[in-house]
Structure 1
Amino acid sequence: MVEVRSVANAQNEWVALLLGTPGTGLDDPALQGLFGTPDLLAAIAPLDCIVLLDDAAVLTPPVLNVLPANRVLLAVRADALATDGTARRLAELQMAGYRVLIDGALPEGVAAPIALRTVARDGRTALPRAGALPTLFGPHLAYNVGDMDAYRACENAGFSWFSGDYALEGSVAEGDDGTSRRRMLTMLALLARDADSRELEAQLKADPALSYHLLKLVNSAAFSVGTQITSFGQAISRLGRRQLQRWLQLLLYARQHPDSPPNLMLPVAALRGAALEALCKRDGGDRDEQDLAFMAGVFSLLDRLFQMPMAEIVQDLNLPEHVEAALLRREGQLGQRLRLAEAGRPDPETLEAAGVDGPDWWQSQLHAYHWAIQVARNV
């Protein structure tokens, strides 16, 4: 199992996926298995891949043959530069078109070639001093960025690509007296009980921001039905209630001020929903069961979005018992699969408890990332 994490820029846009676990970098068989077929890079296009490597020895000709330089960045542990020939090898790869990041602080007495000035750092470790990173050699990557305080420290140090749980840190908008949150909770309740279209339309009319994001989405290049949609009624008739409710569930995360960056929780919610739906479909679940699996994945971040306990959120939603158990306690098969969706690198025991094998989990992730990337680019 390979750990996969999203990487965003300072504008809260996904720019790459980070593959591998720090300290246990990907080896030759893993790299050939991941990139030996077009599945991975096709699924995540146009994003790039950043692969974590312990040393340059794994970059054999067969491996490089499946690593296109225009799509793959190589993040090599700084300790590897203490090995004879590694610095020269990495400099040659950089000259050949690969983007090379030196991961971690250089060993004492070891200097990197002038061409290797792009860095990656674990956000939990000591960071370079402010302004120490050369901007011309970026983008510099900070991973394991745990919260917004760590994010600001990394940004101040000169990093411009970020990965970590900071993306899941919700906040209450300045000046929000609770009216907006109550309206959103009402919308959730209506969606959960398959409310009449007129009730949904009334809520949307009271929320211009959500209405704007919905119309922007359904008219986007990726999801357009060929005719300009200008009203909620048209959206219902063109998309159908099932698809419309799905977009509304996701668009709860898209509420932001017009001049603020996108909410990074939105693509994560889309990712979780799509992964759980794919696994349900694999098991032969019908459309209603797939919709509930998708809803569980999307709703799993609502406590972070609203900054309130999940129990308070679900108490008025009248969700099916197994969905509520999954959201509140991660119980049942759906709850176990939600644990998978939350894990960057699920262990074999968690996979077994969820009734999923490694290949099926990987395929669900490729599907989910492909879908989440498209959603993020069009909301």
Structure 2
Amino acid sequence: MAEGLLIGRKPLFNRELRVFGYLLLPWTEGRDRGWSSVLDAVLAQGVGHLTGPLEGYLQLPASVAAEHAEALAGLADIGVGVWLEHADAAFLRTVAGAAPDLGLIVRPSTPEALEGHAPRWWAVDASEARDAGWREALRGRKWLADGVDDYETAMQMQEWGAQGFAGAFFQKPERVRARAPQANAHVLKVLADAWRAESPEELAASVRSDPDLSYRLLRYINAPAFGLRARVSTIEQALALLGLVRTRRWLSLVALSALAQRKPDELVRTALVRARFGELFARRAGDAETGDDFLVGLFSVLDAMLDQPMEEAIADLPVADEVRAGLLDPKSRLGKRLAAAKALERGRWDEVLKHLDDGRALSLMETAHLYHEAIAWADAQMQALVNA
């Protein structure tokens, strides 16, 4: 990561609730060169480490884009788009002239700004889209609803013509979808039995009770991203090679993926980023290797996966008291670290260190490095899980 580059990422969903790209949220406050340093760093290294093969849109206020118009063509050359905030029609014409190949998502300043140049997407806040005037102006145009914080709002926006969504809705329990509680209950029972297991034999027996989960676990462990030299053919071999603690951990990850089959893939990716970030932060802070930070991140989306309040979702899981506290109490030690991970996701840089003020807090730059490392790890694990 280039020196001084702090960027969060926010997933952008299409109508099928698949992620087509990421909104990139840079931090500029408190630095001498501000936006200039952000643009220089992005132009120097790109954003592939944050977006993978998907589209990336750097969030810029229209005033900043006007001051750095020469950088817009450079962004287009490296395949990075721009999310413009509060742009009017006249400015859009200027941008189109300066960088005709630039991929644009534009949040218009007024409904009248929708006339003229058509960007790749228009972006309108869900609260604005409730206004009939905005909806009339958006009719027949390609637009996404931002600030969508629950599934009910996403469905309402879709009825009004939105073709894309941005917001934390996918991380929330869904109250309207019919669930498959029996299948979920069986996976959770296997997971609970695995966490209660006190010996490799007990753990192997619990995993073997679900052939599909056993198959997924072995496929995942043998994926290239896992880095094992020898092929593992049985649960017993996995236990002999990895041990009880590590096998239980990877089983939890595979079980989480199984629970999320009816949910957007990004939900699992979010859990993996949080888990890895917590683990990396604990190591850097000099904590003992308990794995609790990893589990808090991994299980932090169970409420959304099971469409239940978190307290109910983890009720039958025999996890450590500190893990339970981290999931239920944002003021607990691990709860604060989870809150920091969530702030990083939203690019709320002023909140990050506030949540990590435990006497051993890292700098914001060090924390962002760990977050970016967690993203790269999670993307690799997602590829392994897809093939599992």
Where on the TM-score scale, by shorter chain, does this alignment land: which range?
Answer: 0.7 to 0.9
2:21 corresponds in structure 1 to 16
CA apart distance, 1:269: 0.8
Tell me the secondary structure at the aligned position of residue 74 of structure 1. strand
CA apart distance, 1:362: 0.9
Match of 2:251 among 245, 248, 253: 248
4+ aligned runs moved over 6 Å, structure 1 = none
Q: Which structure 2 residues correspond to residues 118-137 of structure 1 after superposition, within 5 A?
A: 118-126=121-129, 128=135, 132-134=139-141
1:99 corresponds in structure 2 to 103
1:49 corresponds in structure 2 to 56
> Which residue identity lines up with residue 172 of structure 2 in the other structure?
E
In 2: Cα distance, 1:296 partner to 1:306 partner: 16
**Are the aligned partners of 1:225 and 1:238 in contact in 2 as well (CA < 8 Å)?**
no
Tell me the secondary structure at the aligned position of residue 226 of structure 2. coil
What is the Cα-based RMSD across aligned positions, in Å?
3.7
In 2: Cα distance, 1:11 partner to 1:34 partner: 33
TM-score normalised by L of structure 1 = 0.78
Cα deviation digits, residues 94-153 of structure 1 (max 9, x gap): 52x32112223645377322x53532222332164699445xxx6x54332222222223
Tell me, yes or no, if structure 1 residue 360 matches structure 2 residue 366.
yes
Tell me the secondary structure at the aligned position of residue 162 of structure 1. strand
In 2: Cα distance, 1:277 partner to 1:336 partner: 14
In 2: Cα distance, 1:64 partner to 1:70 partner: 9
Unpaired runs of 5+ residues, structure 2, are 1-5
CA apart distance, 1:212: 4.1
Match of 2:12 among 7, 12, 22: 7
**Are the aligned partners of 1:131 and 1:156 in contact in 2 as well (CA < 8 Å)?**
no
Cα deviation digits, residues 292-332 of structure 1 (max 9, x gap): 11111112222333334434455554544433322221233
Match of 1:112 among 99, 116, 136: 116
Match of 2:284 among 282, 285, 288: 282
2:3 corresponds in structure 1 to none
1:232 corresponds in structure 2 to 235
Deviates more, 1:3-12 or 1:44-53: 3-12
Going from structure 1 to structure 2, the CA distance change for 1:34 and 1:155 (only over 3 Å counts) comes to: farther
In 2: Cα distance, 1:7 partner to 1:110 partner: 21
* Structure 1 or 2: more helix by fraction: 2
2:165 corresponds in structure 1 to 162
- % identical equivalent positions: 23
1:332 corresponds in structure 2 to 332
In 1: Cα distance, 2:255 partner to 2:136 partner: 38
In 1: Cα distance, 2:145 partner to 2:7 partner: 19
Unpaired runs of 5+ residues, structure 1, are none
CA apart distance, 1:7: 2.5
Cα deviation digits, residues 9-31 of structure 1 (max 9, x gap): 4454443221239xx9x962363
**Are the aligned partners of 2:340 and 2:356 in contact in 1 as well (CA < 8 Å)?**
no
The count of aligned residue pairs is 362
Going from structure 1 to structure 2, the CA distance change for 1:214 and 1:14 (only over 3 Å counts) comes to: farther
**Are the aligned partners of 2:187 and 2:259 in contact in 1 as well (CA < 8 Å)?**
no
> Which residue identity lines up with residue 146 of structure 2 in the other structure?
Y
In 1: Cα distance, 2:209 partner to 2:73 partner: 55
In 2: Cα distance, 1:299 partner to 1:369 partner: 17
Tell me the secondary structure at the aligned position of residue 77 of structure 1. strand
Going from structure 1 to structure 2, the CA distance change for 1:125 and 1:262 (only over 3 Å counts) comes to: same
**Are the aligned partners of 2:194 and 2:206 in contact in 1 as well (CA < 8 Å)?**
no
2:381 corresponds in structure 1 to 375
TM-score normalised by L of structure 2 = 0.77
